[in-house]
Amino acid sequence: MNLSPPIRDEYEIALTPLDNVPLERTLSLPQRIWQQGWVRKTVILLILAVIWEVVARIQDNDLLLPSFVQTAQAFVDGIVTGELIGKVWISLKVLVKGYLIGIVLAFALTTLAVSTQLGRDLLSTLTSMFNPLPAIAMLPLALLWFGLGENSLIFVLVHSVLWALALNTYAGFLGVSDTLRMAGRNYGLRGIRFVIFMLVPAALPSILAGLRIGWAFAWRTLIAAELVFGASSGKGGLGWYIFQNRNELYTDKVFAGLAMVILIGLLVENLGFNVIERVTVKRWGMQR
């Protein structure tokens, strides 16, 4: 009995060359414009503005929901008079201080964690204790320790930034392959030089994600804290501007302040983090 498999006849298919087919598709001008991300996002914002205007006109109650046009007018007035810009400047100064201190502390903790077993235990214990604790819940303690003023705001901002950034950075460090680690040690990198020149570039996508999360936490924590007290020595930030106009029933200015909060978030995201990603991890092929 013959158990060998049957042998099929060999054959060859001649492929027709695609000499006349263009290698790339030509896009029309509207298609090229639509490929721009900022154009699509602008269209989305315009649609939301139209929906807002229609709903406000149907509601027909300026105290509850001012129209988009009224809010835009209050926004422009706040810019022209300088009142809104002044409040934003006060908030951003405090935010930058707390954000930078949080970054330095997070980097110190994660560097210690990747260097020693005690550092790993310390980071794990502290993040388990304090990461679930809302930053705004630390405000009464901050007021007790530092009193009314900038130092209390910086304290809660550091709390909001530190743990999210430390966790993401440490997770990124753990994700660095053993091959890269051995390559770094073969070049004689040890301690802080090993972290800066090897671990940080390799873990940059996770670090940027942590910076994004920390920024979002810090920005909304600052606005919430300023809504509570935010004014000292006759000065108040953007959150205090919103709170004060709410008390005086200037709802259009309240929405203008909220619009400024959103606008600053969009600017930081698109002109800050997106640019950093484009010139680093995307250029290096680490992110699609």
- How many contiguous H segments (helices) and E segments (strands) does the chain have? 14, 2
Any residues with CB less than 8 A from the CB of 215 and at least 6 apart, and which? 99, 161, 268, 273
Sign of the C-alpha dihedral, residues 83, 86, 91, 95?
Answer: positive
Do 93 and 85 form a contact (C-beta atoms < 8 A)?
no
Find out whether 286 and 203 touch, Cβ atoms under 8 Å.
Answer: no
DSSP letter at 235 equals E
- Three-state DSSP at 60 gives coil
CA-CA-CA-CA torsion for 116, 117, 121, 126, nearest 10 degrees? 0
Task: Give the Cα separation of 211 and 166 in Å (integer).
Answer: 9
pLDDT tens per residue across all 288 residues of the chain: 566 777 777 878 888 777 776 667 777 788 888 888 788 888 998 999 999 889 988 888 888 888 889 999 999 998 998 888 988 898 888 899 999 999 999 988 988 888 888 888 988 898 888 888 888 888 888 888 887 778 888 899 999 999 989 999 888 888 888 787 788 777 777 777 877 888 888 888 888 888 999 999 999 888 888 887 655 545 678 888 888 888 888 888 999 999 999 889 888 888 888 888 888 877 877 766
Tokens 């290096």 correspond to 284
Give the 3-state secondary structure of residue 273.
Answer: helix
On whether the CB atoms of residues 49 and 68 are closer than 8 A, the answer is: yes
Q: By the 8 A CB rule, do 149 and 97 touch?
A: no
Cβ atoms of 172 and 205 closer than 8 Å: yes
In what helix (H) or strand (E) does residue 231 lie, and over which residues does it extend? strand 231-232
pLDDT of residue 246: 86
What confidence score (pLDDT) does residue 135 get? 83
pTM, two decimals, is 0.80
* pLDDT of amino acid 23: 67
Geometric angle at alpha carbon 48, from 43 and 50, rounded to 5°: 95
DSSP string, 123-174: HHHHHHHHTTS-GGGGHHHHHHHH-SSHHHHHHHHHHHHHHHHHHHHHHHHH
